[in-house]
Amino acid sequence: MATLVSFHAHPDDECIVAGGVMRKAFEEGHRVVLVVATRGEVGEVPDGFLDDGEELWQRRVQETHASAEVLGAKRVEFLGYTDSGMMGEPRNDVPGTFWQADVEEAAQRLAEILREEQADVLTVYDDNGGYGHPDHIQVHRVGMRAAELAGTPRVYEATSNSDEMRRGMEEAVRTGEMKAEDLPDFEEGGAEFGKPEAVLTARVDVHEYLPQKRAAMRAHASQISEDSFFLAMPDEGFARAFGVEWFIRAGQGPGITETDLMAGL
């Protein structure tokens, strides 16, 4: 049995970008640990969703534990920072937010968990945080440094395959599922979401675990409603969008040579 620690910025991030590999590791007998930098204080909910006197972060902590149970995580830890909001918002500058955290100090907090767990594998995000969110970028910075401090041997940067995304959207236009005018200008901004295929090193097929991945999303009801993009799409579309999880292994590649983050452990 090996140990996978999956590090994320906010509640619900875990099920979207790494839920498949977490459940896969659990099913194969490995220990799975979920670490979240913030409690997702900035999320929005409809009026009346929360109980009287209940704070959003309290509900999101409950939802994270429910999601972790579905994904097979046996330990959940929060690093204690607060949500920084989207890039460019005034909240970015508020003391105590993750974006304002001292990288070395935050890395020490995470490294302590990595040492306690004798982690074999750590997942973080790519250097742009997948799509430029400040807390996601900070996950990359803090996670990479924590792995150095703890001596964690394998570090994978969770990301998206921007080339695959482009091909999928163009195919959706050809089949009429998507309007041509809704197609992003990939030359101008597409590369900011995910990474090009040429720099990826791991492609993990998680189709087998899509029921759990979707159930984990459903556990985050305060942020992922039944009519959301994630839950409203038909099974076929969901499988196309979320059936493969992509990673860059630190110090390896380029070239996709891995299909299992826990191989050989």
Q: Residue 28 and residue 35: Cα distance in Å, rounded?
A: 20
Q: Is residue 265 part of a domain?
A: no
pLDDT in tens, 145-196: 999 999 999 999 999 998 888 887 777 778 777 677 766 655 554 447 899 9
pLDDT in tens, 66-93: 999 999 999 999 999 999 999 999 999 9
Q: Is residue 222 part of a domain?
A: yes
The yes-or-no verdict on residue 230 having pLDDT over 90 is no
Q: 244 has which bridge partners?
A: 205
Question: Which of 26-35, 73-82, 244-253 has the weakest average pLDDT?
Answer: 244-253
The yes-or-no verdict on residue 38 having pLDDT over 80 is yes
Q: Residue 195 and residue 157: Cα distance in Å, rounded?
A: 10
Mean pLDDT, residues 242-249 taken together: 96
Q: Is residue 73 part of a domain?
A: yes
Q: What is the CATH number of the domain that holds 165?
A: 3.40.50.10320
End-to-end CA distance of the chain: 7
Handedness of CA 183, 225, 222, 12 (dihedral sign): negative
Is the separation of the CB atoms in 158 and 130 below 8 Å?
yes
Q: Is residue 95 part of a domain?
A: yes
Range of the domain at 224: 3-249
Q: How many domains does the chain have?
A: 1
Tokens of 8: 């994320």
Cα separations (Å) of 134 from 8, 24, 263?
A: 12, 29, 31
Average pLDDT of the residues of the chain: 93
Helix (H) or strand (E) holding 249: strand 244-249
Please provide residue 20's backbone torsions phi and psi, each rounded to the nearest 5 degrees.
Answer: -65, -45
- With cut-offs at 50, 70 and 90, classify the pLDDT of residue 46: confident
pLDDT in tens, 134-146: 999 999 999 999 9
Q: Is residue 153 part of a domain?
A: yes
Q: Is residue 176 part of a domain?
A: yes
pLDDT for res 193: 84
Mean pLDDT, residues 33-52 taken together: 94
Q: Is residue 66 part of a domain?
A: yes
pTM over 0.75: yes
Q: If we measure between CA atoms, which residue out of 67, 73, 25, 21 comes closest to residue 243?
A: 21
Question: Which of 41-45, 54-58, 211-215 has the weakest average pLDDT?
Answer: 41-45
Q: Is residue 259 part of a domain?
A: no
